[in-house]
Amino acid sequence: MKEIIINTPLNPSQLSRINIGDIIKINGTILTARDATLFSMVKNDKKKKMNDLVLKNQIIYFAGPAPGPGNKMISSCGPTTSSRMEPYILFLLKQGVKVFIGKGPVSQTFLTLLRKNNAVYLLATGGAGVFLAKHIKQAEIIAFKELGPEAVYQLKVENFPTIACGIKGKSLIKI
């Protein structure tokens, strides 16, 4: 197990040195998405209305940020259960997403899709939303504003801490 820093924009070759259990710290931008967001993405893609949202080589964090007091945009930003997002994984991979961040185990189908698409699943610590928010330096809603906390946020992060959980068809968590 080693610590690896990845920077965005992602170069997929950065992912080749990651192994199960590695601590991954992310610098740059990541996008958030949850159930309603992903449903809207698929629906709007079918209508060819997603031209402005670029997902190629992106990192998707399954999270719905909680607003903070005053002018603080985010006070907490913990991960959402990844298995709930599985119906949308193939769609996201076809859009070019290379990294997913969430919590909990995922199916063997999810892991196989990751392997076939040279993508990675990272764990963020559930219940640590306030701590994780401290690594978010900037936040901006870039799509589906009408969904509130489930809108697509672009987060600028520094040393955002995760653990490599699903890579090369294998998982850190056994179901």
> Each residue of 102-159: pLDDT tens digit?
999 999 999 999 999 999 999 999 889 999 999 999 999 999 999 988 999 999 999 9
Buried b (16+ CB within 10 A) or exposed e, 78-101: bbbbbbebeebbeebbebebbbbb
Strand ranges for 14-91 from DSSP E: 23-33, 59-62
Q: Give the closest residue to 126 by CA, choosing from 105, 104, 106, 149.
A: 104
Q: What is the CB-side half-sphere exposure of residue 24 using CA atoms within 13 A?
A: 29
**What's the chain's average pLDDT?**
91
State residue 130 phi and psi, 5-degree precision.
-70, -40
Answer yes or no: is pLDDT of 51 > 60.
no
What pTM value is reported for the model?
0.94
Architecture of domain 3-9+25-170: Alpha-Beta Barrel (3.20)
Distance between CA atoms of residues 99 and 164, nearest Å = 10
pLDDT value at position 164?
97
State pLDDT tens for residues 66-93: 888 777 778 999 999 999 999 999 999 9
Tokens of 99: 């990294």
Q: Give the closest residue to 27 by CA, choosing from 6, 10, 48, 58.
A: 6
